[in-house]
Amino acid sequence: MSSTKIGLGLAAIGRPEYINVRQVVDVDKSEQYYRDNAFKMLDFAYSRGIRHFDTAPSYGKGEEFLQQWYKENPYDDLIFSTKWGYTYVANWNLGYNGAHEIKEHSIHKLLEQWSVSKHLLPALKVYQIHSATFESAVLENAEVLQKLYEIKRKTGLKMGVSVSGEHQSEIIACASQIKIKEEPLFESFQVTYNILETSSHDILRSLIKAGKLVIIKEALANGRIFRNDGYKHYSDLYTELNNLSEKYRVSVDAIALRFIMDHLQPGVILSGASNTRQLSENMQALKFTLENQELISLKQHKLNPDAYWNERKHLQWN
């Protein structure tokens, strides 16, 4: 068994619409419903041994719900991670036309969002640039890097980056080389990794071996690993996942998560579950291991990163 832990991400819990491939849509989209559900999810996750919770200012009320829950449940073994760099602009308007979150990797955005996120201390342990890219030049912004260094020195937080897109490996490589006063600035890397997208395998393995924290996101390819008539080109994968799910008597999401645990052995895989049933099913991944031959066969379903990210770009907010 690997030592990978399952964490819970709040992207689907803190706001009413997300880019997941939803097969069942919530009937009640009110803020009260989401608040109650978030508290239920956090209680349930903690009771099942989950300690790592990941959020961001752009996950609607994600940070607020987590902070309120923490106030009522001040456990001393929690690990929160949050991010800075995206702002939620959909403002709970259902069917909001356009991107629901806007990117801004400026020093002003860092200062503004840090002034809110710091209230998650002392459970806050990891502070990440949200979707660092070469285009935003955030990894070359001396003022931003210096401020992150100051926050790190003052609070003891691990600084991290989250990455997306076909250049994720290059961005991680670049971030892992940045040093301030001879110290590597970034020690945590949040990366998309799943059966369809394994292109960052080698660099992540080397970071894991060097003792860095690797956090996996989008482990279920935003829901694309579930059989879906809109994705007929994955029918061989769906059949294979289904056979393994029957063999191990778990749902297909547990097979997909186990694949990552056995193939990559990251520190944390974030569950994107939006209800307690999904989370329980995800956690079945901790109870078995895949055989070598099964891993080899699942590895064959990887896409070329351009194809993967092109499909990902076309997912709709819903």
Ligand X SMILES: NC(=O)c1ccc[n+]([C@@H]2O[C@H](COP(=O)([O-])OP(=O)(O)OC[C@H]3O[C@@H](n4cnc5c(N)ncnc54)[C@H](OP(=O)(O)O)[C@@H]3O)[C@@H](O)[C@H]2O)c1
Applying CB under 6 A, the residues found at the interface with ligand X are 9-12, 20-22, 24, 54, 83, 130-131, 162, 164, 190, 217-223, 226, 251, 253, 270, 272-274, 278, 281-282
Tell me how far, at minimum, the Cβ of 57 lies from ligand X, in Å: 12
By beta-carbon proximity to ligand X, the closer residue of 179 and 277 is 277
By beta-carbon proximity to ligand X, the closer residue of 18 and 179 is 18
Contact 294, 201 (CB under 8 A): no
Contact 39, 65 (CB under 8 A): yes
Tell me how far, at minimum, the Cβ of 65 lies from ligand X, in Å: 13
Q: How far apart are CA 158 and CA 174, in angstroms?
A: 17
Of 105, 88, 173, 172, the C-alpha closest to 143 is: 105
How many CB atoms sit inside 10 A of residue 269's CB? 28
Tell me how far, at minimum, the Cβ of 214 lies from ligand X, in Å: 13
Q: What share of the chain is helix, strand, coil (3-state, %, to 5)?
A: 45, 15, 40
Tell me how far, at minimum, the Cβ of 53 lies from ligand X, in Å: 9
Q: How far apart are CA 185 and CA 149, in angstroms?
A: 7
Tell me how far, at minimum, the Cβ of 280 lies from ligand X, in Å: 8
CA-CA distances (angstroms) from residue 155 to 33, 115, 122, 125, 151? 34, 13, 9, 9, 6
Q: What single-letter amino acid sits at 166? A: E
By beta-carbon proximity to ligand X, the closer residue of 11 and 123 is 11
**Token pair for 247:** 């063999």
By beta-carbon proximity to ligand X, the closer residue of 113 and 278 is 278
By beta-carbon proximity to ligand X, the closer residue of 131 and 203 is 131
**Token pair for 135:** 């285009």
How many CB atoms sit inside 10 A of residue 221's CB? 25
By beta-carbon proximity to ligand X, the closer residue of 220 and 264 is 220
By beta-carbon proximity to ligand X, the closer residue of 209 and 315 is 315
State how beta strands 86-88 and 101-103 pair.
antiparallel
Tell me how far, at minimum, the Cβ of 91 lies from ligand X, in Å: 20
Residue 317, H or E segment: none
By beta-carbon proximity to ligand X, the closer residue of 185 and 254 is 254
Contact 14, 38 (CB under 8 A): yes
Tell me how far, at minimum, the Cβ of 302 lies from ligand X, in Å: 15
Tell me how far, at minimum, the Cβ of 299 lies from ligand X, in Å: 18
Task: Work out the end-to-end distance of the chain between its first and last CA atoms, rounded to an integer number of angstroms.
Answer: 36
Q: How far apart are CA 87 and CA 200, in angstroms?
A: 27
